[in-house]
C-alpha cells in the first residue's frame, strides 16, 4: 500500500480525514493522534482493512489471512433468530416513579416508598411482521416493560389491547401460524388480511372480542407515545400478611391516545416504514420524554364473582366505569439505547419475572406464557446465560449457584458451588424475603378442561362496538370489509358475517353489503346467548377520550419561495408554544428564500414529505409558488390526502390554486383555516387540538 498522499483535487478533504490512497485507488483511513488503532477481536493491530492478503497484486487470496477470516466469520454469525412473534420492535430506557406506598396491597418493594424511582426498559412491537417489516401494520402492539426493582426484575409483558384472541395458551401456535405468511407461498407479510388468519378466527369464536379491537383504530396507533398498555391477565398483589388482591395493569399515555386511518397507514408504510421508531427516537432525542401512568384495577373474589364472565378469561375486560383504575405511578422514557442490538434486540421479557408481592392468577393463557418466555430465550439468545447480558441482568444484588454454559461471564466463586454446604460459601434461602406463592387452595379432577364460565364470546365484543363513536364504528366496518375482501374463500367470509350477526346486526349487514354478499348467513350458534344489556363504556373510545391538546404532535409546513418570513416565524412559535413540532417541506430540500431574503431550511423535498407523516398541515405558499406546485402530483396528493384524512389545514391566500387543483374547497369546513396573521395562526393551532375533524369524514369517500 502506498502511503503517499494522492495528488488529486479532493486531496484537501482526503487529508482532513487522514485518508490516503492505495495503489488501486482505494482509500485508507489511518489512525493519527488520539484515534484508536483498529484491531482484530484478539487485539492485534490491523495495518490494512481494505485488501485481503494475496500473492501478487492480481493473485489468489491466502487462507493465512487471519484478519479476513475473523472479520467474515463474525459477520456470517451476526444474526440471531428473530422473535417468533413481536419480531419488529423498538425500545427505550427510563424509570418508573411510585406515587404512594401500596403496602396495604402488596409487599413488592417497588410499591413501598412514595417518590422512589426504579430503572425501566420498554420495548414496543408489532406482532405478525418479521423484523424488517413496516411499522404501521394493522396489528396489536406489544407493550413490554421491564422494571429493574430492588428485589429482582419484574416484566409486565403486555399489549396495547386489553384482551387476547385465545383463552388457552395451547392455541397460541395455531393463532400465530394462521396470521403469519401462508406456508406454501410465504406471503402476505405483516398482514392479517388473508385466508388462513380469517379461517382460524372464524373457527374460534372466543376471538371475537379481540377482533373488534384489532379492526378498530387501536390497531393503527399514530405513535407508541399515544397508546395505552395493558397487562391483559388478572394478576395478584400479595401483601406482607399474605393476603391477595386481584389486579389488572393499565398504562395510560400522558399525551392521550391517537390513531391514524387505514388509507393513511398504507401510505405511511411506503413513505416511512420506520414511522413509529423514528417518532420515538425524535421525541426522546429532543428531550420530549414520553410518559405513562400506571393504573391499577383492584378487586377481590366477591367482586370477581359478581360478573357472569370469569376474571381469569383473557378475552374479557372489567369496564373502567365499573371499576375505575387507580393511578399508582408514572413511567418516563428518557434515553435511547446506545446500541439497538445489544439492548432492544437482546432484551428478554418473561411473564414469569415477578418479584415477591406480585403473583399469577390461574388464567390459562398466563400459565402457558410462563413456560414459553423462558424457553424462547434459549433459542434466541443461544445460552442459559442470557441473564449475563447487561440489559437482562438485575440491577439489585443477586447470588446463586448457576454456573458454566455458553458465554458464562460470571461464575460462583469459592470452593463450594452448591448448598447446603459447610464451607460457609455462597448464598442461602430467606423464607422471609424470598418469593412465596400465594397459597390458593386448588382441587379437582385432572383433565383438559375449558371452564364454562369462559363460554360467552359475543357480549363484550358487542359492548366494545357499542362504546365507539360513529366514525370509529365506521372504521371497524371498513376494516372488516377490507380484510374480508382479501379472503378468497367465500365460506370463510360467510362464517365471519355469521359471527358479526351475534355482535351487531347493523355491522354485519353493512360489511356483508360492502362485500357484495348476496345472501345473509344465519347467526353463528352461540354457546351462551349474547347479552344485549351491557352498558357502553365510553372509556373504550379513542375519540371520546382525546387529549384536547396538540402537544407531541407535528405540523408539516409546505413552503415556496417568496413567502412571508414573519408569518412563518409566528407559526413556528405558536406550534412550539403548544408543545408540538414543525417540519418544513419545500419543492427542493435546499429550502426556500422568504420575501425578506432569509432562508427557510427544509427537512423534506415534496416527494419525501407527504402529508401522511404529519398531524396537521400548513400551506405557506405564494400564488406563484402554488401555481408551480399544481404541476406536481406529490404536491396535489399532499393537500388531497391531508383533507381526506380529516386533518386541519392552514393556508395562505396564495395556496388556493393548489387547493383547487387538489380538489379541495378552501371553504369546505371549519378544518380549513386561512393563515394571515398571529390571530389566525392561533386559531389554526387551537383547532389542531381536536387532532382530526371527523365530521368531514362522511363527505370524503376514501
Pairing between strand 649-651 and 616-620? parallel
Measured at CB, which residue is nearest to ligand HDD?
142
* Number of amino acids touching ligand HDD (CB under 6 A): 26
Cβ-based nearer residue to ligand HDD, 227 or 232: 232
Question: Among the candidate windows 197-205, 371-379, 498-506, 566-574, which touches ligand HDD by CB under 6 A?
Answer: 371-379
Residue 477 backbone dihedrals phi, psi, to 5 degrees:
-65, -40
Pairing between strand 672-674 and 244-253? unpaired
Pairing between strand 19-21 and 581-586? unpaired
- Show the cell assigned to 346: 437482546
Which of 214, 331, 365, 617 binds ligand HDD (CB under 6 A)? It is 365
Verify binding: residue 471, ligand HDD, rule CB under 6 A.
Answer: no
The span from the CA of 177 to the CA of 173, in Å, is: 6
Verify binding: residue 558, ligand HDD, rule CB under 6 A.
Answer: no
If residue 562 lies in a helix (H) or strand (E), which one and from where to where? none
Which of 83, 93, 146, 316 binds ligand HDD (CB under 6 A)? It is 83
Which of 120, 136, 215, 232 binds ligand HDD (CB under 6 A)? It is 232
Least Å from the CB of residue 659 to ligand HDD: 43
Verify binding: residue 367, ligand HDD, rule CB under 6 A.
Answer: no
Verify binding: residue 369, ligand HDD, rule CB under 6 A.
Answer: yes
Verify binding: residue 260, ligand HDD, rule CB under 6 A.
Answer: no
Which of 67, 86, 475, 499 binds ligand HDD (CB under 6 A)? It is 86
Verify binding: residue 180, ligand HDD, rule CB under 6 A.
Answer: no
Cβ-based nearer residue to ligand HDD, 88 or 553: 88
Question: Among the candidate windows 71-79, 304-312, 346-354, 411-419, which touches ligand HDD by CB under 6 A?
Answer: 346-354
Residue with cell 488520539: 34
- Show the cell assigned to 412: 460462583
| Angle subtended at Cα 260 by Cα 259 and Cα 265, rounded to the nearest 5 degrees | 135
Q: Is 693 left (phi over 0), alpha (psi -120 to 50) or beta?
A: beta
The span from the CA of 692 to the CA of 469, in Å, is: 14
- DSSP lists the bridge partners of residue 251 as 229, 294
Catalytic amino acids?
A: 86, 159
Written as one string, the DSSP assignment of 265-320 is HHHHHHH-TTHHHHHHHHHHHTT---EEEEEEEEE-HHHHHTSSS-TT-TT----T
The span from the CA of 81 to the CA of 280, in Å, is: 25
Least Å from the CB of residue 370 to ligand HDD: 9
Cβ-based nearer residue to ligand HDD, 91 or 356: 91
313 closest CA partner among 240, 433, 208: 208
Question: Among the candidate windows 10-18, 81-89, 212-220, 505-513, which touches ligand HDD by CB under 6 A?
Answer: 81-89
Least Å from the CB of residue 122 to ligand HDD: 9
For ligand HDD, the binding residues in 39-78 under the rule CB under 6 A are: none
For ligand HDD, the binding residues in 291-320 under the rule CB under 6 A are: 314
Least Å from the CB of residue 125 to ligand HDD: 5
For ligand HDD, the binding residues in 138-177 under the rule CB under 6 A are: 142, 144, 157-159, 164, 169, 172
- DSSP lists the bridge partners of residue 294 as 251, 329
Verify binding: residue 384, ligand HDD, rule CB under 6 A.
Answer: no
Three-state DSSP state, 182: coil
Verify binding: residue 373, ligand HDD, rule CB under 6 A.
Answer: yes
**Do residues 225 and 290 lie in contact, with contact meaning Cβ atoms separated by under 8 Å?**
yes
The span from the CA of 344 to the CA of 68, in Å, is: 29
Using CB under 6 A, list all residues that contact ligand HDD.
Answer: 83-86, 89, 123, 125, 142, 144, 157-159, 164, 169, 172, 232, 314, 347-349, 365, 368-369, 372-373, 376
Amino acid at each position: 500500500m502506498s502511503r503517499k498522499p494522492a495528488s488529486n483535487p479532493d486531496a484537501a478533504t482526503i487529508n482532513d480525514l487522514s485518508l490516503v490512497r492505495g495503489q488501486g485507488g482505494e482509500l485508507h483511513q489511518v489512525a493519527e493522534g488520539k484515534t484508536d488503532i483498529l484491531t482484530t477481536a484478539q487485539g492485534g493491530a490491523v495495518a490494512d482493512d481494505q485488501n485481503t492478503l494475496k500473492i501478487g497484486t492480481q493473485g489468489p487470496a491466502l487462507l493465512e489471512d487471519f484478519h479476513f477470516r475473523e472479520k467474515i466469520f463474525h459477520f456470517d454469525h451476526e444474526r440471531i433468530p428473530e422473535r417468533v412473534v413481536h419480531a419488529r420492535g423498538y425500545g427505550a430506557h427510563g424509570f418508573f416513579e411510585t406515587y404512594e406506598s401500596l403496602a396495604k396491597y402488596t409487599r413488592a418493594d417497588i410499591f413501598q416508598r412514595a417518590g422512589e424511582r426504579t430503572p425501566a426498559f420498554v420495548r414496543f412491537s408489532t406482532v405478525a411482521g418479521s423484523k424488517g417489516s413496516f411499522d404501521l401494520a394493522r396489528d396489536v402492539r406489544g407493550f413490554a416493560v421491564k422494571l429493574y426493582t430492588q428485589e429482582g426484575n419484574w416484566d409486565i409483558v403486555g399489549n396495547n389491547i386489553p384482551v387476547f384472541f385465545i383463552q388457552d395458551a395451547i392455541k397460541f401456535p395455531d393463532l400465530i401460524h394462521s396470521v403469519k405468511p401462508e406456508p406454501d407461498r410465504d406471503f402476505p407479510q405483516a398482514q392479517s388480511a388473508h385466508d388462513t388468519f380469517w379461517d382460524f378466527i372464524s373457527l374460534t369464536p372466543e376471538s371475537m372480542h379481540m377482533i373488534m379491537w384489532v379492526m378498530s383504530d387501536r390497531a393503527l396507533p399514530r405513535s407508541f407515545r399515544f397508546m395505552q398498555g395493558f397487562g391483559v391477565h388478572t394478576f395478584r398483589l400479595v401483601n406482607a400478611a399474605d393476603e391477595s388482591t386481584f389486579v389488572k395493569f393499565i398504562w395510560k399515555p400522558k399525551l392521550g391516545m391517537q390513531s391514524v386511518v387505514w388509507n393513511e397507514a398504507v401510505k405511511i408504510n411506503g413513505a416511512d416504514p420506520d414511522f413509529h421508531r423514528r417518532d420515538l427516537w425524535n421525541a426522546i432525542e429532543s428531550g420530549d420524554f414520553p410518559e405513562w401512568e400506571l393504573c391499577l384495577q383492584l378487586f377481590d373474589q366477591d367482586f370477581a364473582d359478581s360478573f357472569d364472565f370469569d376474571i381469569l378469561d383473557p378475552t374479557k375486560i372489567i369496564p373502567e366505569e365499573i371499576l375505575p383504575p387507580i393511578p399508582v405511578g408514572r413511567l418516563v422514557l428518557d434515553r435511547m439505547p446506545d446500541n439497538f442490538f445489544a439492548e432492544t434486540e437482546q432484551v428478554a421479557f418473561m411473564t414469569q419475572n415477578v418479584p415477591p408481592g406480585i403473583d399469577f392468577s390461574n388464567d390459562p393463557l398466563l400459565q402457558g406464557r410462563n413456560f414459553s418466555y423462558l424457553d424462547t430465550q434459549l433459542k434466541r439468545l443461544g445460552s442459559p446465560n442470557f441473564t449475563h447480558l447487561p440489559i437482562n441482568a438485575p440491577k439489585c444484588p443477586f447470588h446463586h449457584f448457576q454456573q458454566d454454559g455458553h458465554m458464562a461471564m460470571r461464575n460462583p466463586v469459592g470452593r463450594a458451588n452448591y448448598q447446603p454446604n459447610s464451607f460457609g460459601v455462597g448464598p442461602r434461602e430467606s423464607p422471609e424475603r424470598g418469593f412465596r406463592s400465594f397459597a390458593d387452595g386448588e382441587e379437582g379432577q385432572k383433565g383438559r378442561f375449558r371452564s364454562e364460565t369462559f363460554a360467552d364470546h359475543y357480549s363484550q365484543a358487542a359492548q366494545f362496538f357499542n362504546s365507539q363513536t360513529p366514525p370509529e364504528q365506521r372504521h371497524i366496518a371498513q376494516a372488516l370489509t377490507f380484510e374480508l375482501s382479501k379472503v378468497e374463500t367465500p365460506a370463510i367470509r360467510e362464517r365471519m358475517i355469521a359471527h358479526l350477526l351475534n355482535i351487531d346486526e347493523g355491522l354485519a349487514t353493512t360489511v356483508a353489503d360492502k362485500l357484495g354478499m348476496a345472501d345473509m348467513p344465519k347467526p353463528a350458534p352461540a354457546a351462551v346467548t349474547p347479552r344485549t344489556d351491557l352498558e357502553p363504556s365510553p372509556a373504550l373510545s379513542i375519540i371520546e377520550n382525546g387529549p384536547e391538546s396538540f402537544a407531541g404532535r407535528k405540523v408539516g409546513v409546505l413552503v415556496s419561495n417568496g413567502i412571508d418570513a414573519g408569518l412563518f416565524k409566528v407559526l413556528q412559535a405558536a406550534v412550539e408554544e403548544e408543545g408540538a413540532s414543525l417540519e418544513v417541506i419545500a419543492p427542493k430540500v435546499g429550502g426556500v428564500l422568504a420575501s425578506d431574503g432569509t432562508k427557510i431550511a427544509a427537512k423534506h423535498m415534496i416527494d419525501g414529505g407527504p402529508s401522511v407523516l404529519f398531524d396537521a398541515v400548513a400551506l405557506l405558499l405564494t400564488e406563484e409558488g402554488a401555481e408551480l406546485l399544481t404541476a406536481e402530483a406529490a404536491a396535489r396528493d399532499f393537500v388531497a390526502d391531508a383533507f381526506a384524512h380529516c386533518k386541519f389545514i392552514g393556508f395562505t391566500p396564495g395556496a388556493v390554486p393548489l387547493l383547487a387543483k387538489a380538489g379541495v374547497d378552501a371553504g369546505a369546513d371549519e378544518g380549513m383555516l386561512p393563515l394571515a396573521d398571529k390571530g389566525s395562526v392561533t386559531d389554526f393551532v387551537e383547532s389542531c387540538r381536536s387532532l382530526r375533524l371527523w365530521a368531514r369524514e362522511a363527505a370524503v369517500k376514501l
